[in-house]
Amino acid sequence: MVDARTVVLDVTGLRGMWGSPRAFGAAVQRKAIEQGIHCRVALAATRIAAVLSVYGRTDALTVIKPGREATTIATLPLDILTRVANFGLQRNAAIPLEVRNRNVSRMINIFKRWGLATLGDVAALPRDALFSRFGTEGVMWQKCACGEESQLLIPTPENRPFEVALDFEWPVEGFETLASGLRPMLESLVLQLSQAGVAAAVLIVRLWLVTRVWYTRTLQLPAPICDSRMLCTLLVLNLKSHPPPAGIDRVVVTAIPAPSRITQFSLFEKAVPSIEQLSTLLARLKILMGSERCGTPVLSETHHPNAFDVGPFDPTMSSAIHLEAAEETGPIAISRRFHLPLVAQVTVDCGCPVLVSASGGIGRRSVERCAGPWRSSGHWWEQTQSVDQ
């Protein structure tokens, strides 16, 4: 489906079932009329030629023989090109539809200023000269005017959530019983992810308790995982560290997908543990030590010395840091204004330095710009801190 009024079908291989292309087009028209839909049908070797023909011609059924696309649509007006603006013909298919419409309108206006009126006029232009003036965009629209196809007809995947659910006959309170129910659920979920070519980056488990409330836990994985046994282990460990307050009647597990991880170690580096094993280790450590004590140290936004926070562990980030450090092996040039510290006398006016006097040829200079002071005590903005260093 291209838009609310246009539908494109791939009818390759249906000749044995319907016979000639004209017979298939007539069958489509009959089915549409039975549903109360009045439409025009065009069959061609390319979707560009079919869409341009169905909007540019008044015939109820048009069949274009292979190789006759440019001749059939040559007499159509230039404005008909707006019908294929949302086909993703631009190199970046993520361009918004409004931008595509503006691009095609701009090209149509340029062609009209040149004195061109039909698609055949655009098709007759020398392609090399068109490329030298407009680049690949000009060649792309000339191919459209010729009915040529530059991309395959790829269906848009269904935007459905990766979710599985299970209802228990009796309320579940033990983790062993819960794990036995999670295993087939996660196997089905991993199968859905594998068919889509993705893996689970985040797992969201929702438990409907006997108290008629939802208990939700979100498991942020350090890397996309597509292993049902590993996901089941991580979920159970997470629920053990944060157990639900009541029995469970229903379980719903939702996966937020991400591209599958491709692992390739260097021949000259020590192999690191797999993400799956590392995730299990971190989950067990969080149960023993607490989630606030397991992770990667990160700098805190404070002036307090030796202050740090604990963030989620990301092994890919540490590998990138080591790689950058290995690349920076060259000598570092250090430039100093003064090689030895000089004793200076600073004159302050209303708390701001205004004059600096020092030996070594500096003399007496006025301060043009200053910054600071820089606190080192930390949390100096709180009332409990009586000392400000």
DSSP string, 141-163: HHHHHHT---S---PPPP---EE
What pLDDT band is residue 188 in, cutting at 50, 70 and 90? Answer: very high
Q: How is residue 318 written in tokens?
A: 């540490």
Q: Is the pTM of this model over 0.85?
A: no
Is residue 49 within 8 Å of 55, Cβ to Cβ? no
Q: Is 27 exposed, middle or buried (0-12, 13-18, 19+ CB in 10 A)?
A: middle
Closest CA to 78 of 105, 127, 117: 117
pLDDT digits (tens, 9 = 90+) for 62-81: 888 888 888 888 888 888 88
Residues sharing a CB contact under 8 Å with residue 112, sequence separation 6 or more, in sequence order = 78
Specify the pLDDT at position 161. 82
> Which residue is associated with the tokens 């205004």?
354
What pLDDT band is residue 90 in, cutting at 50, 70 and 90? Answer: very low
Q: Is 349 exposed, middle or buried (0-12, 13-18, 19+ CB in 10 A)?
A: exposed
pLDDT digits (tens, 9 = 90+) for 108-160: 888 899 888 888 898 898 888 888 888 887 888 888 888 887 666 655 556 67
Closest CA to 203 of 224, 220, 225, 226: 220
Region(s) of the chain under CATH 3.30.1490.100: 162-259
Q: How is residue 57 written in tokens?
A: 């011609």
Helix H or strand E segment including 100: helix 97-113
The more confidently predicted of residues 29 and 209 is: 209
Indicate if the pLDDT at residue 320 is higher than 50.
Answer: no
CA distances from 345 to 48, 196, 354, 364 (A): 80, 71, 11, 9
The domain defined by 162-259 carries CATH number 3.30.830.10: no
Closest CA to 249 of 213, 216, 224: 213
What pLDDT band is residue 228 in, cutting at 50, 70 and 90? Answer: confident
Indicate if the pLDDT at residue 307 is higher than 60.
Answer: yes
Closest CA to 74 of 107, 117, 130, 118: 118
Q: Is 288 exposed, middle or buried (0-12, 13-18, 19+ CB in 10 A)?
A: exposed
